[in-house]
Chains A and B, each alone.
Chain A
Amino acid sequence: MSATIENVRGRRVASKGINRPGRLLGAGLLVAAAAALALFSDAAITLEAQMVATVLDVFTSGSTSSIGHLVWTGIGTDAIHGFLITPVCTSLVLIGPILVFTGVLVLLGRKRADWTLLGGLLALAVAVGANTVRFILIAAAWQLWGEVGFDIMHYYVGSVLVILASALAIVLLLVVSSTGRLQPPRRWIASIRGERAAAAEESR
């Protein structure tokens, strides 16, 4: 089965042969990685807690540390806070499905494998990045505004951020794997600019 290249109109412009065993192997590795993360989630979350503690050290006062799934902030200050990375808060919940989805796209053989892998990588970056930002917001808000800040960031701002970013990550994966492009098509941008210019003209 051959994959195809398509430009922004979705037209086929060329085709490139990619062998099925290669796709099977690629897809298998991606799905196996997702399965491994699920099976060894304890160890993975522990590692994640260590990485989150390192990142939070930059954005919070005092120093940080992690023990198991717990991340401590504000060490050396009057207010030491610890929060637990639970199985539904961890980035694994985002990484696993993206890996599986990328693997399925690679296996289906309709898209260029390199574009699909690039799309997967970008999707992971967006999703994990958003979850990391959520941790930063939660920790910083807790230090600045106490329990109220924690609640608002944890339950609302952070949740909405991660949900929307994850949706965007899926969109990014699909767009990049289909078209190989990272930015919106020029004519979309031109259309937005054209409409804004027309609206500005009308209001004068």
Chain B
Amino acid sequence: MPASESAQALAFVLLVVFLAYVLLIVVPFLLRKKDPEGDPSAFEWHVLVPCRDEEVVIGGTIQRLRTDFPSLHLWVIDDDSEDTTAAIVQAAAASDPFVHLVQRRRPEARQGKGAALNAAYRALSLWLPRTTDRSKVIVAVVDADGRLAPNALQQASGANAFADPEVGAAQAAVWMSNREEREPIHGGAPKLKQAWGRYLVRMQDIEFRTTIAAMQCLRLRTISVGLGGNGQFSRLSALDQVAEMSGQPWHGSLLEDYELGLHVALAGYRNTYMHDTYVEQEALPSTRRLLTQRVRWCQGGMQCARYLPQIFRSQHFTNAGALEATYFLLIPFVQLAGLILWPAAFIAMTAAGAINQGGIVEFFVSAWWLLPLVLLTGILPFAFWVLIYRRDATPGISWLRSAKWGLGYWFYMYQNYICVVRALVRLVRGNENWSKTRRNAEVGSTGLVARET
């Protein structure tokens, strides 16, 4: 078979595998039933909030969490902030025994979110009475600007979550808190930039509430649910077991949350996904900051690929779960292959067509029939998610807007290709230093998107 046709055949195979995956995730998502709620009083609740220079948001977060969840203990980890974060938390802790400050200083501080969470885990362990039933203590992680849904604890106490003793960790759905903001870029920006910002924010909301949620619903079936950085809940005894097996609950990869989920599963627990509750977080309205965030996630995912042999050897992973985890961890590498294959197939087809038709223009004129196929197999598998988003999140929007969002979501997905290349370069160079993502409300910053540690 000539090389050009081999490229087309391989591209076809990639397309089929991708469509198969879309089918696999959309069916369980559409068929899912609501999760039952439970009794939060059956558990003791602790929320860890890692912070570095979060003076803009932390006060509001503390107030909100304490108001919405009066029985919840809040552990705010100040990772040696240079602003007034620690002072704000200390003031709150002085008047509220449910608020605790975990103060860290350099050189131990600023070693990543995982290290900060481990510090809080140790502080919590010291604080709890020795007689505590640690299987009834639930530890959640919420971002400094995170907002838990009012029913979060009821869902987490439910029969499909921590009321099941096999469940070691649970992940809430993630919504974007600034999805309806007309001016998501604070501090003034031109109208066009604000429009672009609104587009990016909306696409992130669609992504988390449809595609990622659907992936998690498939993972409920394959018993391989992944944990995210915001809205993760863990049973303290599960964290203890992970710590016993590998030194500490959170480890050093850039995707420390997904990594924790792997460790919890390898420890013999089951991770679950709670679609009927959510945590809200700020979406990023800036291309640069979004790409920085996604490159970090992508690189973290590539780092977690080292767990594949353990996953395959593990008696605690189901066959389907092992396969799903493999697919997820290999996606960046598959995308890298696609980056070469898709253009190669296109060039091969165009060259062959141009030769047959007597010119490139003649070929494109005669190949008009490809457009509907491209629409069906290239754009529709992304765009159709907006129909689900419209059903679940924005039922009143017009069909025209849905169509625009659908096209926009297809285009938005191409950022993955930029991210995988940058992530690979960073991985090969051994560049693993990252810093926290700047908040949208940090208006005075000079435009740094991530301060390197």
Contact = CB atoms under 8 A, between A and B. Distances in A.
A174 B372 contact: no
Contacts of A110: 312, 319, 322-323
Interface string B306-325: 00000011010011111100
Q: Interface residues of B toward A: which range?
A: 35 or more
Given A10-B318, A108-B312, A151-B369, A174 B9 contact: no
Interface residues of A, number: 40
A84 interface: no
A159 B438 CA distance: 47
Contacts of A159: 373
Interface in A133-177: 151, 155-156, 159-160, 163-164, 166-168, 170-171, 174, 177
Interface string B177-199: 00000000000000000000000
> Which of B16, B31, B223 has its CB near the most chain A CB atoms (within 10 A)?
B16
Nearest to A105: B323
A6 B31 contact: no
B66 to A, nearest CB: 39
Q: Which of B1, B31, B321 has most chain A Cβ within 10 Å? A: B1
Contacts of A1: 313
B448 interface: no
B124 interface: no
B20 A170 contact: yes
B319 A4 contact: yes
Contact of B1 (A3, A41, A108): A41
A166 B318 contact: no
A203 B313 CA distance: 51
A169 to B, nearest CB: 8
Given A97-B13, A163-B16, A191-B31, A155 B369 contact: yes
Nearest to A155: B369
Interface in A171-200: 171, 174, 177-179, 188, 191-192
Interface of B: 1-2, 5, 8-9, 12-13, 15-17, 19-20, 22-24, 31, 33, 221-223, 312-313, 315, 318-323, 369-370, 372-373, 376-377
Interface of A: 1, 3-4, 6, 9-12, 38, 41, 86-88, 93, 96-97, 105, 108-111, 151, 155-156, 159-160, 163-164, 166-168, 170-171, 174, 177-179, 188, 191-192
* Those 7 A-B pairs whose CB atoms lie nearest each other, nearest first: A170-B20, A167-B19, A10-B318, A167-B20, A166-B16, A178-B320, A155-B369
27 contacts: A3-B319, A4-B318, A6-B319, A10-B221, A11-B223, A12-B315, A41-B1, A87-B1, A88-B5, A88-B8, A88-B9, A96-B9, A97-B13, A110-B322, A155-B370, A160-B373, A160-B376, A163-B12, A166-B20, A167-B20, A167-B22, A170-B16, A174-B20, A174-B24, A178-B318, A178-B320, A192-B31
